[in-house]
Chain A
Amino acid sequence: DSGVTQTPKHLITATGQRVTLRCSPRSGDLSVYWYQQSLDQGLQFLIQYYNGEERAKGNILERFSAQQFPDLHSELNLSSLELGDSALYFCASSVRGGTRKETQYFGPGTRLLVL
């Protein structure tokens, strides 16, 4: 158990809908990362938050957004869902997120299926 929690574990929804994925980082970790794992794109970095503020952006679509709250949990919002958004979404956390020495610990992931 990495100490990172994600809810829900599974999500099935329809095209055009909007969903919210939730992540709670390890105790004491200030930085949260979101990654998407799909069959065709592999594991891709989406976005990073550090202590409530956006730190870095990767290949995140405009239909996707995220935020980190004062209690440091984070939510990833996916809207106008398309079939291609079906994937496993991981959250990872690290202590500060700005130093190379840190290890990112991954949550169990949320499996999203868009029908």
Chain B
Amino acid sequence: AQTVTQSQPEMSVQEAETVTLSCTYDTSESDYYLFWYKQPPSRQMILVIRQEAYKQQNATENRFSVNFQKAAKSFSLKISDSQLGDAAMYFCAYRGPGGSQGNLIFGKGTKLSVKP
């Protein structure tokens, strides 16, 4: 069965600095998607970024980028120029090839604090 592991329960970053959140996963599939979701105190789940496993190029969305290492099954999220509004829980998620594997499998999350 696929698993997603986030080894950092909590992280802290100074405003305007850069922080990297770690995620590893386990799967026997070769084709899949990986996601980072943000959950602020409002509890809304907000998609931050997604990565297609068959694409070697790392995804970027403004200040958010990923370091996808397929062989190592690693998928880290880098937040540049951190802002106070980035404070939230961040969840790494895996999605299989589709069909009966279309649901998301989440890690336990990393709580990010941003210090002014």
Q: Which residues of A contact B (CB under 8 A)?
A: 2, 31, 33, 35, 42-45, 48, 55-56, 58, 88, 90, 92, 94, 97-106, 108-109, 111
Contacts and interface: CB of A to CB of B under 8 A. Distances in A.
Contacts, number: 71
Given A45-B104, A45-B105, A101-B33, A90 B45 contact: yes
B102 A48 contact: yes
A108 B43 contact: yes
Interface residues of B, number: 29
Interface string B91-110: 10001111111111111110
11 contacts: A35-B104, A42-B108, A43-B106, A48-B102, A55-B102, A56-B103, A92-B45, A97-B102, A100-B33, A109-B43, A109-B45
Contact of A104 (B43, B101, B104, B107): B104
Contacts of B17: none
B108 A33 contact: no
Contacts of B47: 103, 105
Given A100-B31, A100-B33, A101-B52, A45 B44 contact: no
